[in-house]
Amino acid sequence: MSGWAVIAARFAVYVTLAAAFGVPLQASIDRWRIRRRWLIAIVGSALIASIVALLVLVASMAGTAILPVDREVLRIVLGETPVGAAFLVRFAALALAVVACGWSGRGATMIVCAGSGVALATVAWTGHGAMQDGTAGMVHLAADIVHLIAGTAWIGAIITLSLRLLAARRDPAALRDTLAALHRFALTGSALVAAIVVTGVVNGWMIVGAEGWAILRSTRYGWLLVAKVALFAVMLAFGARHRWVSVPRFRDALNRGDDDAPRALLRSLTLELCVGLTILFLVAWLGTLSPSDQG
């Protein structure tokens, strides 16, 4: 099993968990009734991706193909490793979320969000944030979890707003509700950015320390981290453009009765989402590396 297969599996977990947590969160904040089949597909994909990622990990450790599964290695992973414990909690949380997708009411959406949030937090249990002991380890793990939650909430909000534009289509009332949601997210987005920046600095300091930044310039881990920060800056630029340019243009187009009003904004949101997904890919890659790994 190649290292790229492990990275791809991790990436699939990050993307699906980001959607499973961020979409119901944003839908709950906006009181938007997301289509149940969409929610089931989103959360179900996170559950499937987590199972596949576990099988890929077992195959990688056993040096075999994904199927048939090496049952002895699977037993060891699930019963004797932090990865296995994290998976069992994630599986239970996502299973609850999938069941809650079939319930009605805003409370059900919050249960889906909570279950997916717990599943998302388990990703940090086996990452760099779980490598330290004592108070420093607790601070690092907490920062890692908040970093994951804030980042995926941002990506989930982009997905949700894009889905709302697609669902509204030529419905003027629904489009104006989406416009209001875009305005509300301006404040929420600022808080998420602040959380990402603060926890990102804490995580970076905990991983490499004050003297490690010079070393990172000559390592694969360092270059990927620089690329991640650069892409984060691009997402900030997209966010600023949406707030000050794209959303006002969208509002003006709605006031003129322009039927094509959502298209330009949807294209811009799609580009921002692509940047966010690239960041998640880099995060999945970084999670397989040590800061000292050479390029």
> Can you tell me which residue has the tokens 């799609």?
270
Residues in CB range of 246: below 8 A, 6 or more apart: 264, 265, 268
Q: Can you give the pTM of this predicted structure?
A: 0.89
The percent of residues above 90 in pLDDT, for the chain, comes to 41
Two structure tokens written together for 253: 């187009």
- Closest to 3 measured CA to CA, from 63, 52, 67: 63
Q: What is the pLDDT of residue 53?
A: 93
Helix axes 106-125, 82-100, angle to 10 degrees: 170
Q: What is the pLDDT of residue 103?
A: 84
Q: What is the pLDDT of residue 214?
A: 67
CA distance 270 to 206: 33
> Can you tell me which residue has the tokens 């959303």?
247
CA distance 269 to 98: 27
CA distance 125 to 87: 10
Residue 133, helix vs strand vs coil:
coil
Tens of pLDDT, residue by residue over 159-170, are: 999 988 888 777
Write out residues in the chain with pLDDT < 50, as ranges. Answer: none
Distance of alpha carbon 75 from its chain centroid, rounded? Answer: 29
